[in-house]
Amino acid sequence: MRHDSAFKIFSLSLIWVWLGLFALLPFLLVLITSFLEPGTTHLIQYHFSLENYHDIFSSIYAKVFVRSFGVAALSTFICLVLAYPFAFFMATAQDKYKNILLLLLIVPFWTSSLIRTYAIIAVIKTKGILNTILLALGIIHHPIEIMFTNTAVMIGLIYNLLPFMILPLYANLERLDFQLLEAARDLGASKLRMFFQIVFPLSMPGVLAGCILVFLPAMTIFYIPDLLGGAKSMLLGNLIQTEFLTIHNWPMGSTTSIILTAIMGLFLWFYWRKTSSADRKDLV
């Protein structure tokens, strides 16, 4: 037993040190930087200021926030609509198919998301696979221009984030007690009613977990609007990237990151309020 507890203390403290050094410390640095001023000869001036926070709530930035929320909400909704039937099918499939489906879902993760985004470009570009096929079949006569539009950004976001919606939904639906459905059928409930009154409410923790996992990255995967959207319209991730790397305003970039973290915290708090600890298994 002594050995056990020594090992436990060792591994736990290792994780605490790791988190402290690589999560908490950087976060604190960003937090501190967000209250400083940008410098000219140095990146940061050690001078306390609330100006960044004042600026971030001005109308220019509001536009980025609103656009990011809109894009994230739409992609989350489409992911949910696409993922739900798939997750349900997977949860109710026979075990041998279930494993194959899971594998198919996870295999793309073995390739970097950036490379998969470049693969999307190869498909949708002017002389891409899609246009070549459609032109060859005579379905269209001029290439469709999908690249560098909001549609392209949406395709990229949904493609990249769909698994994050499917997995928590699947984890939840797999635990669904199907005897409830039999009971409902015996009592004469229609299929639609069974879904909306039993299945969907019971899967709510999974839905929420999936939405959180899709919504937040959708605002911050900066390379998708950059590569597929032509770096034209900024989302929050692009704004942070530009502030840090193009215009060297580290304090403003930090402030934007802090606001984003606050939003994320708000979502998690809401999720925490709405779910019991047993439900929260879906998120992890």
Partner 1 sequence: MRFSTYIVGLCLLLCASVTYASQGVLNVYIWGGEVPDSVIQQFEKETGIKVNYSTYDNNETLYAKLKATKRSGYDIIEPSSYYVDRMRREGMLQVIDRQKLSNYKNLDPSLLNQAYDPTGEYDIPLVWGTTGLFINTKFFSNTTLDQWNQLWNPMYKNKVLLLDDPREVFSMALISLGYSASDSDPQHIKEAYLKLKKLMPNVRLFSSDAVPSLVADDDATVGMIWNGDLHNAREDNPNLKFVYPTEGFGIWVDCFAIPKDAPHLDNAYRFLNFMMRGDVAVQSTLQNNYAVANLAARQLLPKALANDPVIFPSAETLKHGEFQMDVSDEALALYNYYWTLLKIEA
Positions in the binding site for partner 1 (CB under 8 A): 25, 28-29, 32-33, 40-44, 46, 60-61, 63-64, 125-127, 143, 147-148, 229-234, 238-239, 242-249
Choice between 38 and 206, CB closer to partner 1 = 38
CB 233 to partner 1: min, Å: 5
Choice between 100 and 140, CB closer to partner 1 = 140
CB 214 to partner 1: min, Å: 24
Choice between 117 and 172, CB closer to partner 1 = 117
CB 132 to partner 1: min, Å: 11
Token digits of residue 2: 């002594």
In order, the DSSP letters of the chain are -HHHHHHHHHHHHHHHHHHIIIIIHHHHHHHHHTTSEE-SSSSEE-----HHHHHHTSHHHHHHHHHHHHHHHHHHHHHHHHHHHHHHHHHHS-HHHHHHHHHHHHGGGGS-HHHHHHHHHHHHSTTSHHHHHHHHTTS-SS----TTSHHHHHHHHHHHHHHHHHHHHHHHHTT--THHHHHHHHTT--HHHHIIIIIHHHTHHHHHHHHHHHHHHHHH-THHHHHHSTT-S--HHHHHHIIIIIS--HHHHHHHHHHHHHHHHHHHHHHHHHS-TTGGGGG-
CB 106 to partner 1: min, Å: 29
Choice between 84 and 250, CB closer to partner 1 = 250
Choice between 147 and 184, CB closer to partner 1 = 147
CB 170 to partner 1: min, Å: 37
CB 60 to partner 1: min, Å: 6
Choice between 27 and 196, CB closer to partner 1 = 27
CB 44 to partner 1: min, Å: 6
Choice between 132 and 279, CB closer to partner 1 = 132
Residues 6+ apart with CB under 8 A from 261: 27
